[in-house]
Amino acid sequence: MREIKIFIIVAVIVGVIYWGVEPLAHSIMHPSGAPVDFAYKDLDKFGKFDISKGDVAKGKDSFATACASCHGLESQGIKAPMDDETAGTSFGVVPPDLSDMGYMIDHNFLAHFIKDPVRAAKLSAKFQVDCSLDKDQANCEKLNENKAMFPMMAASGLGLSDEDVTNITAYLVSIAPKAMSDKAVFINACNRCHAVEYDKGQYDNIFDKNAKSGYGDALHAHTKAEFVEKYLGAKAPDLSMMIRSRGEHYLHDFINNPQNVPLADIRNAILNSMLNEAKNKEKDSLANLPQEQKVAKSKEIDLKTIEDYKITLPKNTMKDEWQSDDNYTNLALQMGVMPVGKSMPRFGLNEKAQAQVVKYLEQVGDSKKEQRENVGYYLIGISILLAIIAYFWKLKIWRDLH
Amino acid sequence: MAKIKESKNLADWIDQRLGTNTLTKVLMTEYWIPKNINWLWAMGVVLLFLFTMLVISGIFLLMYYKPDGNLAFDAVNYTIMQEVGFGWVWRHIHAVAASMVFVIIYIHMFVAIYYGSYKRGREMIWIGGMLLFVVFSAEAFSGYMLPWGQMSYWAATVITNLFGGIPFIGPDLVEWIRGNYIVEDATLTRFFMLHVFLLPVVIMLLIALHFYSLRIPHVNNQEGEEIDFEEEAQKYQAGKVKEAKVIPFWPVFLSKDIFIVCLFMILFFYLVCFHYDFAMDPINFDKANHLATPTHIYPEWYFLWSYEVLRGFFFSANLGLIAFGIAQVVFFLLPWLDRSPVIKPAHKRPGFAVFYWLLIIDLIVLTVYGKLPPDGNAKYIGFVASIGFLILIFIVLPLVTIAERKKVGK
């Protein structure tokens, strides 16, 4: 009995420490963002598309005039107009071949991407959005100031109507393959910017039964790292070990929306902006004071906090109905203070394709997972067996001692 | 020269030349351990099991590891983890055992404190154990650098930087330890040397010392009872095994320990194969990059309490460093900070029990807050817990034990 009592005490102490340094610490260090959204509902307010009503033949024509000058469509025999090097130099990034987009990308997202790529990709922190879609155009223009043009033009710039966009999307959907391997999805979705040095072709047979595995060149990125850095502000990391360094859960949230920052950070950004505004207002009221007093007062003002001004978050009236009350994304965007997540664009993968990407990363970064679990059962089984034998041996030896 | 007779068998042949029968008696069958013990007395053998696992897995890892700033990360994460057959087993065993060693060391240590097994003749056992703790810490720290991931790199940067706070020689010392202005290839190779050669050799010597230091004062028991080991051994050998208060190390004591090691193995291999993140921080699967500091830098969990003592004095880096330095060595002084001659478990020493459980709670708070970012209230809690640690050790412990000494009238 005493032995068990001691065990319980030790287990509770170890358990509390474990809870503190693992789950508790992780929940504090990585606060949660908005839930994953594969319907891309945030785009609904910029128009609704019903792809099933699209005219494939018309879409094909529109594609030839509006898209083919930059994009290839290899499955239809349309080659990319430039090689990787030239395209990278002129656009900053190699434009993707669009043959598989209808398979990988959510159809609604795809249409919205053609309509306004910057908004769909959530790159408005760096690039100009199409303000013709915005209710408050003046504010939109203001937020666009000093930002670069996105390499791909919005639909309005190409003279495409919503109907044209629907048709092009329907065309891309109609030519899309019905099935793709995990690696093929990865190559199309991620490999333009990201390398996977640990994939040297040794798993090809696992991804595709008809392929041959073998050690060859590693999977390098199509776009040069310097180009990506210039284009998006950061080098795209090698993804070989992402499954171990980030984990499936994080990747699931992150790939769906690289701008999925913690909701608390968004609220803090709004509060800080309100605080700065209040400070500046108070400083403006000092204009008539003598210089010395002005400097002293300004210093005082700089030290003030949110509590001093009694600043509280406004009611979340701008949120979309599907957003939670503590999700202030829309207001932060409107104010131009939305915290920037990673430099990566939102790619709009559908749930299935995203799962394939994660599976690919698991195969190349944690290739022994299955073996590890099998071996685990054996090792635990052997230990249990040994423990049983050891227990009876101990009983035998101690029998006469008490 | 001894008289060599014709030998009856191989064992006899060896015994005549090496005295193995006597050696077995001295080390095993006539090495006496108290009978009145519980499973906590098995932690030493569990540690031996873990150390053996570390050495064996370490040897296998050494066959493919490359101590080079450009090659180390891929050697570990690509070659060992994915290309070498069952390489991952050895790495996971090595990482999980390194973390579990500290779980068991802490249990072992606080069992000794609970039962008063560090004083009145047992000081050398305690000091040997503390030396092992310190060298194991250095071994863990140097080993953590070898995968050359982000946390390897930045933990190395932060910890080597601490030496910069030492007056006069600090900055030069940091450079000397790193072998460069920043943590770099030279740092990696010298920590590799420490990890695979110098420190393991020192650990093995200290383990021998630790075992040897048990011989004269003997192992303590559950009630702190003073046992006449010779008299009890005679009883045992005379067949009065029920009455005797001692048991031989082999096979009686070890039969219990081996059972507990087997139970421990179940947990251990579960952690190795299914639940290893606590010992293999995901962030360390990002390659070391001296241009990108991770958002949160923290040491492995077993250093968190002393790291929090360092951070706890958030208003003064120097005070923090001094407190940290004290925390690292203060447990060496425990036999002398305890002013009472009483050897009993804490639940029979009311004043001491209060100290003991407050210390445990304080160390848990320090450990948990040592990982959390020091914002808001966290830094004040850290400060109170750091001060609390020093007060408990330097004021509460001497006071309650002096009171106890007066009560028993010695």
Q: What are phi and psi of B153, to 5 degrees?
A: -65, -50
**Percent above pLDDT 70 for chain A:** 100
Chain A residues lying within 8 Å of B29, measured CB to CB: none
Highest average pLDDT, of A287-296, A334-343, B37-46, comes from: B37-46
Query: What is the model's pLDDT at position B1?
Result: 67
Contact at CB, B259 and A393, closer than 8 angstroms: yes
Chain A residues lying within 8 Å of B40, measured CB to CB: 6, 10
Tokens of A241: 């070990």
Q: CB neighbours of A396 closer than 8 A, spacing ≥ 6?
A: none
Burial class (CB in 10 A: 0-12, 13-18, 19+), B115: buried
Q: Distance (Å, rounded) from C-alpha A376 to C-alpha A382?
A: 10
Q: How many helices (H) and strands (E) does chain B have?
A: 18, 2
Residue B410 has pLDDT above 70, yes or no: no
DSSP assignments along B171-205, one per residue: HHHHHHHHTSSSS-HHHHHHHHHIIIIIHHHHHHH
DSSP assignments along A28-47, one per residue: HHS---SPP-TT-GGGGGG-
Query: What is the model's pLDDT at position B24?
Result: 96
Beta bridge partners of A53: none
Q: Which of A131, A333, A247 is nearest to B276 (CA)?
A: A247
- What average pLDDT score do residues B40-54 get? 98
Chain B residues lying within 8 Å of A384, measured CB to CB: 266
Categorize the per-residue pLDDT at B331 as very low, low, confident or very high, splitting at 50, 70 and 90: very high
DSSP assignments along B230-282, one per residue: HHHHHHHHTT-TTT-SEEEIIIIIHHHHHHHHHHHHHHHHHHHHH--TTTS-G
**Percent above pLDDT 90 for chain B:** 94
More confident residue, B283 or B3: B283
Residue A370 has pLDDT above 90, yes or no: yes
Residue of B nearest to A23 (CA): B278
Contact B113, B105 (CB under 8 A): no
Closest partner residue to B269 (CB to CB) among A22, A376, A389 is: A376
Query: What is the model's pLDDT at position A224?
Result: 87
Residue B161 has pLDDT above 80, yes or no: yes
Q: Distance (Å, rounded) from C-alpha A335 to C-alpha A269?
A: 10
Q: Distance (Å, rounded) from C-alpha A142 to C-alpha A92?
A: 25
Contact B337, B403 (CB under 8 A): no
Closest partner residue to B82 (CB to CB) among A20, A367, A384 is: A367
Task: Give, as one character, the DSSP assignment of residue A53.
Answer: G
Chain A residues lying within 8 Å of B255, measured CB to CB: 390, 393-394, 397-398
Tell me the shortest Cα–Cα distance from B297 to chain A, in angstroms.
11
- What average pLDDT score do residues A204-223 get? 93
Contact at CB, A390 and B364, closer than 8 angstroms: no
Mutate to test the interface with B, among A241, A386, A400 (most CBs of B within 10 A): A241
Contact at CB, B259 and A391, closer than 8 angstroms: yes
Query: What is the model's pLDDT at position B406?
Result: 95
Q: CB neighbours of A329 closer than 8 A, spacing ≥ 6?
A: A34, A42, A266, A319, A323, A338
Radius of gyration of chain A (CA): 28
- What average pLDDT score do residues A301-325 get? 90
Can the peptide bond before residue B251 be classed as cis, meaning omega within 30 degrees of 0? yes
Residue A166 has pLDDT above 80, yes or no: yes
More confident residue, A229 or B199: B199
- What average pLDDT score do residues A46-64 get? 94
Contact B285, B77 (CB under 8 A): yes
Categorize the per-residue pLDDT at B71 as very low, low, confident or very high, splitting at 50, 70 and 90: very high
Contact B54, B207 (CB under 8 A): no
Q: What are phi and psi of A191, to 5 degrees?
A: -75, -10
Mutate to test the interface with A, among B40, B70, B255 (most CBs of A within 10 A): B255
Q: Distance (Å, rounded) from C-alpha A170 to C-alpha A48?
A: 14
Residue of A nearest to B76 (CA): A241
Q: Distance (Å, rounded) from C-alpha B293 to C-alpha A262?
A: 20
Closest partner residue to A375 (CB to CB) among B38, B89, B103 is: B89
Q: How many helices (H) and strands (E) does chain A have?
A: 20, 0
Q: Distance (Å, rounded) from C-alpha B57 to C-alpha A103?
A: 46
- What average pLDDT score do residues B200-216 get? 97
Q: What are phi and psi of B167, to 5 degrees?
A: -60, 150
Closest partner residue to B364 (CB to CB) among A16, A198, A237 is: A16
Angle between helices B199-212 and B123-145 (to 10 degrees): 160
Angle between helices B43-62 and B254-274 (to 10 degrees): 50
Tokens of A47: 């128009």
Q: Distance (Å, rounded) from C-alpha B368 to C-alpha A18?
A: 9
Q: Distance (Å, rounded) from C-alpha A146 to C-alpha A133?
A: 19
Query: What is the model's pLDDT at position A298?
Result: 87
- What average pLDDT score do residues A282-294 get? 85
Residue whose structure tokens are 């009560």: B407
Contact at CB, A20 and B92, closer than 8 angstroms: no
pLDDT in tens, B80-116: 999 999 999 999 999 999 999 999 999 999 999 999 9
Q: What are phi and psi of A349, to 5 degrees?
A: -60, 145
Contact A105, A96 (CB under 8 A): no
What percentage of chain A's residues is helix, strand, coil (to nearest 5)? 55, 0, 40
How far CA B184 is from CA of A135, B3, B192, in Å, comes to: 54, 62, 12
- Kindly report the pTM of this predicted structure: 0.93
CA angle B285, B288, B290 (to 5 degrees): 150
Tokens of A138: 């003046």
Q: CB neighbours of B96 closer than 8 A, spacing ≥ 6?
A: B268, B271, B272, B276, B279, B280
Residue of B nearest to A371 (CA): B86
Query: What is the model's pLDDT at position A288?
Result: 82
ipTM surpassing 0.90: yes
- What average pLDDT score do residues A369-398 get? 97
Tell me the shortest Cα–Cα distance from B238 to chain A, in angstroms.
13
